[in-house]
Amino acid sequence: MEYDHREIEARWKSFWKENKTYQVSNDSEKPKYYVLDMFPYPSGAGLHVGHPLGYVASDIFSRYKRLKGFNVLHPMGFDAFGLPAEQYAIQTRIHPAVSTAQNIKKYHEQLDNIGFCYDWSREVWTSDPAYYKWTQWIFLKLFDHYYDKAADKAMPIDGLTERFAFSGNAGVQAATTQETIFSAETWKSWTPKQQDEMLMNYRLAYRKVSYVNWCEALGTVLANDDIKDGVSERGGHPVVQRPMLQWSLRTTAYAERLLKDLDTIDWTDALKTQQRNWIGKSEGAQLFFEISGSPVKLEIYTTRPDTIFGATFMVLAPEHPLVQQIVTPGQKKTIEDYLSYVGRRSERERASDVKEVTGAFTGAYCINPFNQQKVPIWIAEYVLKDYGTGAIMAVPSDDERDQAFAEKFGLPIIGVVDKSKYPGATLHDKTGVIYNSDFLDGMEVAEAIEMMLKNIEAMGIGSRRINYKLRDSNFSRQRYWGEPFPIKYDQDGVSHAVERLPVELPFMEDITPSPDGKSPLSRDASWVKMDHGFTRETDTMPAVAGSSWYFLRYMDPHNPDAFASQKALNYWKDVDLYVGGTEHAVSHLLYSRLWHKVLFDLGLVPTNEPFKKLINQGMIQGRSLFLQVGNRKIHVKIQLADDKDRLYRDKYLEMIQSDFRFEGIDANTEICWQKDEKGAEYAQLTMEVEKMSKSKYNVVNPDEVIEMYGADCFRMFEMFLGPIEMAKPWDTRSINGVHNFIRKLWALFYDVHTGASLWTNGEPDKDEYKALHAAIKKTTEDIERFSLNTCVSTFMICVNELKRLNCNKKKILQEFVVLMAPFAPFTAEELWRNLGNTTTVFDAKYPVADESYLKKDVVEYPLCINGKKRGEAMFSVDMSPTDIEAEVRNMAVVRKWTEGQQIRKVIIVSGKMVNLVVN
RNA sequence: GCCUCUGUGGCGGAAUUGGUAGACGCGCUGGAUUCAAAAUCCAGUGAUAGCAAUAUCGUGAGGGUUCGAUUCCCUCCGGGGGUACCA
């Protein structure tokens, strides 16, 4: 007889389904606990072994919390809108709605095979109209509100229009890019279209001109990801930056709160730091420079106004609107050439090629207000249009990028900060003494910055300004497979909310992008045209829209009248534990926090932050094999052990002929053959660890592993692989260790030959209890601190110990089942029955370690002299440090004792070591 | 480039607060069992020297703090993830 996982798992899966074991009620006396997984995007490839890593961990934690007496919400759903489904549809002519549904069905089966305790009655899909109705509804809240800086929260836009009609925008404190002041009369004199455009400067969801990566040949907008070396990855066509009118979210309005509230949540410091850097708060000055021979002024942003005397040139972002106005006729050609070069470069390329300095001179000059010097104005791609004012004053003596630029173009460098007082300080540090700077000479940097800020304000040429790297997020996609915007335009082009939600995505046969760059939806004239001359917005929302609030829908997933009832929201409140990958660390989490804060401002959710605690699981990587073909390496799939890095010609040909699993190349591919010592031809295979992906042929499917070893084994092995938060490569070869463990566990309770039960009902003895309580103590600690790999080790040690003691007492079993439950729904039916009424499985209490079994009487202390181990000594545990010291002095056990050595100090370390410091 | 994490035996990893580095598992070696193999069980397994007791070295590289550093600090090198339209 052997442990038969197939039979056991099938039985329990149907049992759970029939008994709705995992269904969670919103009405409970118990305290709530909400454990959330980042829901998957259902791709055609199905789940690979990397996906369930976080799911297994959160499942263990959910079960643990249930055993601790909490009412645990642990739901799952699908992030079903997105680009891959759309691209798959374009290739295969299968509609994304169809392929997505198929994929979800597959994901469902795969997830159920692993035995998660999800409450599937709460499942949501972001592509379901009943769901995205509320995505659109929340979008309209963003559209209908602006950020009031005085109240420090979102406020209705209606209040703002009333105020405009009453007193114009003077004194309105709002998050806006609008800086000119208009009166009530002006406001009233405007056409509805003009008023609408003005309001776009205030709304939290608004339309503005943004730049996109435009590929003329493909007739579509591309992601940065789709661009390699300035051309499209697919086809190698040129890509240019093209302005388009698009929806954006005023993320910047919430920058300060998004930053400040990080202090209130329990996330890792690494993740918080990443979010802080993304928000990128900096304090400095906004400063206006006169431009010679021009009425317009140049506005720059700097964090170092103290270095203005070292500013030898100005740099504008190439897209800066002033460029066309100030360029001199003599420089027009140079600038245009440069602009067309920049237009071909993606944002990421511009940011990463720092070594190569490029730029062009506009021919214009501005005046330094403090010394009346003429300063040349350049444009360069290292200045970004979206950060600060898109213009900087360059101080080559104190900024590395400015320095490189000055050296390349022969611009003067004037030193203004003396750092000799601060050895080791980098250029970036705000330390040093100012020189060459008129009235600032001799001041410390901090003092000089303050002085300059005061001067700038007094002279009326600028002001203090807090700046954020965070930009307003582009929220439009010219795609089909996403939520349509609930927005319509009248004949004058004025935007209005659509009253009846949801605005359903119309079915379209052909969803290829339109050659004019518009969304495919624009081709469905019957959908675009509405009554009374209204037309619909044809862009769709990005995939982050649906995932920005899905955790709220799980609380009350079928509610037709609200995104969730107030009762459900007040019971579940927020997510207690959120588990997900680092790849979402910035964008998804920032969007979710933003949406949540808006909903909080409107009184629609009870908490300010959505995710109290967050654990980032690391990626499980695949091992990719590469074969040299021509002068490049290509991914291949081949059944070989990892340590085989050569592939012999005969073998290769045999593989091709026998249709062996050798994907990625065909028989005609020109492989680079080399000769070994004996003259046999071989090809070199190289292995690299990288993200699992279908195209890299390195995906491991969990179904195969589960079929062979069982779900419990799979789950434990995933945990055993390594720390949850770390990236690690998958290696199926060592799974038999965990498999052996489970079989050993089974064999504790059943006769391997006959299958008969071995249980006895006697009271366990002291040693048996000791093994058990040691395991309970350690596993509790391990689960609480999310160290699940060591938790598995602890189980193994405990089972080995019980096996050594030949223990099969029923009492131990009962507690052990409960202990075991976090890892697996226990697989032997008799053990389940042992818990009594099966429907109350989760009312069982997690056992608490009894310290009385764990006490030690005597401790063996290693004796160290100056940190080097020199022998051992036994002391009783209740001896005080003073007693131990006295004992050590009297001891003759210390070997290697040199004549004349004197004990200077006795250090007792953590009660397990004595260290003598001698001289 | 920038941000962030990470580096420990042949391999995955452990060491929870600065205190006996290498738990647990894989793999490997030897033995038991077997006609034989699989499976199972027992023993060994960082490196070097030694029959052995033991000694020296050893946590990416180099430096520092400390009686004591895988752990804290500085510099450098390698790998992973993110970088705003992949999700």
Residue A893 pLDDT exceeds 60: no
Residue nearest to nucleotide B24 (CA to C1'): A793
- Round to a whole number and report the distance in Å from the CA of A728 to the C1' of B60: 18
Cα-Cα-Cα-Cα dihedral sign, residues A705, A711, A714, A715:
positive
Stretch A893-917: mean pLDDT? 67
Residue A766 pLDDT exceeds 50: yes
- Round to a whole number and report the distance in Å from the CA of A130 to the C1' of B87: 22
Query: From the alpha carbon of A223, which nucleotide's C1' atom is closest?
Result: B85
- Round to a whole number and report the distance in Å from the CA of A16 to the C1' of B37: 42
Residue A174 pLDDT exceeds 60: yes
- Round to a whole number and report the distance in Å from the CA of A872 to the C1' of B50: 24
List, in order, residues 6 or more apart from A309 with CB less than 8 Å away. A368, A370, A371, A414, A416, A436, A437, A438, A440
The answer to whether A553 touches A124, Cβ cutoff 8 Å, is yes
Residue A533 pLDDT exceeds 80: yes
Query: From the alpha carbon of A348, which nucleotide's C1' atom is closest?
Result: B83
DSSP A469: S
Residue A823 pLDDT exceeds 60: no
Of the pLDDT bands very low, low, confident and very high (cuts 50, 70, 90), residue A832 is very low
Q: Report pLDDT for A152.
A: 93
- Round to a whole number and report the distance in Å from the CA of A740 to the C1' of B14: 20
Nearest residue to A898 via CA among A875, A868, A919: A919
Residue nearest to nucleotide B87 (CA to C1'): A41
List, in order, residues 6 or more apart from A859 with CB less than 8 Å away. A874, A875, A876, A877, A911, A912
Stretch A236-241: mean pLDDT? 79
Residue nearest to nucleotide B12 (CA to C1'): A721
Q: Report pLDDT for A699.
A: 80
| Tokens representing residue A100 in the block | 């997505």
- Round to a whole number and report the distance in Å from the CA of A273 to the C1' of B62: 29
List, in order, residues 6 or more apart from A462 with CB less than 8 Å away. A285, A286, A287, A288, A456
Residue A822 pLDDT exceeds 50: no
Could you give the angle at which helices A702-709 and A735-749 cross, rounded to 10 degrees?
30
What is the rounded CA–CA span in Å between residue A781 and residue A188? 67
Nearest residue to A112 via CA among A8, A10, A7, A18: A10
Q: Report pLDDT for A481.
A: 92
- Round to a whole number and report the distance in Å from the CA of A448 to the C1' of B62: 39
What is the rounded CA–CA span in Å between residue A73 and residue A57? 15
- Pick the more confident residue, A914 or A577: A577
Residue A124 pLDDT exceeds 80: yes
List, in order, residues 6 or more apart from A579 with CB less than 8 Å away. A35, A36, A37, A38, A54, A55, A57, A58, A61, A614, A615, A617
Q: Report pLDDT for A852.
A: 80
Of the pLDDT bands very low, low, confident and very high (cuts 50, 70, 90), residue A506 is very high
Query: From the alpha carbon of A744, which nucleotide's C1' atom is closest?
Result: B40
- Round to a whole number and report the distance in Å from the CA of A868 to the C1' of B57: 14
Q: Report pLDDT for A545.
A: 93
Q: Report pLDDT for A619.
A: 81
pLDDT tens profile A412-445: 888 888 877 665 556 666 778 888 888 888 888 8
Q: Report pLDDT for A840.
A: 40
What is the rounded CA–CA span in Å between residue A287 and residue A307? 13
| Tokens representing residue A264 in the block | 């209130």
- Round to a whole number and report the distance in Å from the CA of A801 to the C1' of B14: 19
Q: What would the DSSP string read from start to end of A448-467?
A: HHHHHHHHHHHHTSEEEEEE
Stretch A75-104: mean pLDDT? 89
Instruction: Say which amino acid occupies A121.
Output: S
What is the rounded CA–CA span in Å between residue A792 and residue A795? 5
Token look-up 């051309």 returns: A231
DSSP A251: G
- Round to a whole number and report the distance in Å from the CA of A720 to the C1' of B39: 24
Q: Are strands A313-316 and A374-379 parallel, antiparallel or unpaired?
A: parallel
Specify the range with the lowest mean pLDDT, choosing from A94-98, A394-398, A856-860: A856-860
Of the pLDDT bands very low, low, confident and very high (cuts 50, 70, 90), residue A838 is very low
What is the rounded CA–CA span in Å between residue A221 and residue A540? 13
| Tokens representing residue A885 in the block | 């010291």
Average pLDDT, chain A: 82
Query: From the alpha carbon of A916, which nucleotide's C1' atom is closest?
Result: B67
Of the pLDDT bands very low, low, confident and very high (cuts 50, 70, 90), residue A659 is very low
Within A750-880, where are the H helices? 766-784, 788-804, 810-820, 829-833
pLDDT tens profile A610-637: 999 998 888 887 777 777 776 666 777 7
Specify the range with the lowest mean pLDDT, choosing from A625-629, A651-655, A714-718, A830-834: A830-834
- Round to a whole number and report the distance in Å from the CA of A729 to the C1' of B12: 9
Residue nearest to nucleotide B13 (CA to C1'): A722
Query: From the alpha carbon of A725, which nucleotide's C1' atom is closest?
Result: B5
Query: From the alpha carbon of A477, which nucleotide's C1' atom is closest?
Result: B85
Nearest residue to A471 via CA among A275, A248, A259, A303: A248
Three-class SS of residue A778? helix
Query: From the alpha carbon of A621, which nucleotide's C1' atom is closest?
Result: B80
Stretch A567-574: mean pLDDT? 94
What is the rounded CA–CA span in Å between residue A722 and residue A728? 7
Residue nearest to nucleotide B81 (CA to C1'): A583
What is the rounded CA–CA span in Å between residue A56 and residue A501? 37
Stretch A72-79: mean pLDDT? 94
- Round to a whole number and report the distance in Å from the CA of A713 to the C1' of B45: 27
Q: CA triplet A206, A248, A390: central angle to 5 degrees?
A: 110
Stretch A363-376: mean pLDDT? 91
Specify the range with the lowest mean pLDDT, choosing from A345-349, A481-485, A619-623: A345-349
Residue A875 pLDDT exceeds 50: yes
The answer to whether A611 touches A592, Cβ cutoff 8 Å, is yes
Instruction: Say which amino acid occupies A618.
Output: G
The answer to whether A110 touches A46, Cβ cutoff 8 Å, is yes
Residue A835 pLDDT exceeds 60: no
Q: What would the DSSP string read from start to end of A479-499?
A: -SSSPBPSEEE-TT--EEE-S
- Round to a whole number and report the distance in Å from the CA of A751 to the C1' of B35: 28
Query: From the alpha carbon of A723, which nucleotide's C1' atom is closest?
Result: B13
Query: From the alpha carbon of A277, which nucleotide's C1' atom is closest?
Result: B3
The answer to whether A393 touches A314, Cβ cutoff 8 Å, is yes
Of the pLDDT bands very low, low, confident and very high (cuts 50, 70, 90), residue A608 is very high
What is the rounded CA–CA span in Å between residue A491 and residue A284? 45
The answer to whether A687 touches A626, Cβ cutoff 8 Å, is yes
Query: From the alpha carbon of A782, which nucleotide's C1' atom is closest?
Result: B16
Determine the length of chain A. Answer: 919
Stretch A784-797: mean pLDDT? 89
Residue nearest to nucleotide B66 (CA to C1'): A867
Residue nearest to nucleotide B5 (CA to C1'): A270
Of the pLDDT bands very low, low, confident and very high (cuts 50, 70, 90), residue A609 is very high
Token look-up 């979800």 returns: A104
Percent of chain A with pLDDT over 90: 28
Q: Report pLDDT for A660.
A: 44
Of the pLDDT bands very low, low, confident and very high (cuts 50, 70, 90), residue A641 is very low
Phi-psi region of A911 (alpha: psi -120 to 50; beta: other; left: phi over 0): left
Q: Cβ of A303: how many Cβ atoms within 10 Å?
A: 15
Instruction: Say which amino acid occupies A203.
Output: R
| Tokens representing residue A111 in the block | 């997830």
Judge if the upstream peptide bond of residue A502 is cis by omega within 30 degrees of 0. yes
Query: From the alpha carbon of A543, which nucleotide's C1' atom is closest?
Result: B87
| Tokens representing residue A866 in the block | 């100056």
Residue A197 pLDDT exceeds 50: yes
Q: A235 φ, ψ to 5°?
A: 90, -20
Stretch A133-151: mean pLDDT? 95
Q: Which nucleotides of B are covered by protein (CB under 7 A)?
A: 1-6, 11-16, 19-21, 23-27, 40-41, 55-56, 67-69, 79-87
Token look-up 């010097």 returns: A373
Residue A199 pLDDT exceeds 70: yes
What is the rounded CA–CA span in Å between residue A628 and residue A44? 29
Q: Cβ of A208: how many Cβ atoms within 10 Å?
A: 17
Rounding to the nearest 10 degrees, give the CA dihedral for residues A600, A604, A609, A610: -150
Specify the range with the lowest mean pLDDT, choosing from A102-111, A231-240, A517-526: A231-240
Q: Is A90 exposed, middle or buried (0-12, 13-18, 19+ CB in 10 A)?
A: middle
- Round to a whole number and report the distance in Å from the CA of A577 to the C1' of B84: 26
What is the rounded CA–CA span in Å between residue A860 and residue A795? 26
Could you give the angle at which helices A711-720 and A788-804 cross, rounded to 10 degrees?
120
- Round to a whole number and report the distance in Å from the CA of A869 to the C1' of B73: 27
What is the rounded CA–CA span in Å between residue A174 and residue A154? 9
| Tokens representing residue A113 in the block | 């095979």
Token look-up 């004012």 returns: A389
ipTM comes to: 0.91
Residue A169 pLDDT exceeds 60: yes
Specify the range with the lowest mean pLDDT, choosing from A18-22, A464-468, A823-827: A823-827
Three-class SS of residue A306? helix
Residue nearest to nucleotide B11 (CA to C1'): A734
The answer to whether A436 touches A415, Cβ cutoff 8 Å, is yes
Of the pLDDT bands very low, low, confident and very high (cuts 50, 70, 90), residue A487 is very high
The answer to whether A514 touches A522, Cβ cutoff 8 Å, is yes
Q: Report pLDDT for A119.
A: 92
- Pick the more confident residue, A18 or A483: A483
pLDDT tens profile A724-744: 888 888 888 888 888 888 888
Q: What would the DSSP string read from start to end of A142-161?
A: HHTEEEETTTTEEEEHHHHH
Nearest residue to A842 via CA among A66, A39, A48: A66
Query: From the alpha carbon of A428, which nucleotide's C1' atom is closest?
Result: B2
Of the pLDDT bands very low, low, confident and very high (cuts 50, 70, 90), residue A897 is low
Residue nearest to nucleotide B80 (CA to C1'): A727
Query: From the alpha carbon of A907, which nucleotide's C1' atom is closest?
Result: B67
- Round to a whole number and report the distance in Å from the CA of A893 to the C1' of B68: 21
Q: Report pLDDT for A877.
A: 67
Q: Report pLDDT for A161.
A: 94
Specify the range with the lowest mean pLDDT, choosing from A11-15, A157-161, A778-782: A11-15
- Round to a whole number and report the distance in Å from the CA of A370 to the C1' of B46: 67
Query: From the alpha carbon of A280, which nucleotide's C1' atom is closest?
Result: B3
- Round to a whole number and report the distance in Å from the CA of A564 to the C1' of B3: 36
Three-class SS of residue A359? coil
- Helix then strand then coil, in percent of chain A rounded to 5, is 40, 20, 40
The answer to whether A239 touches A213, Cβ cutoff 8 Å, is yes
Q: Report pLDDT for A617.
A: 86
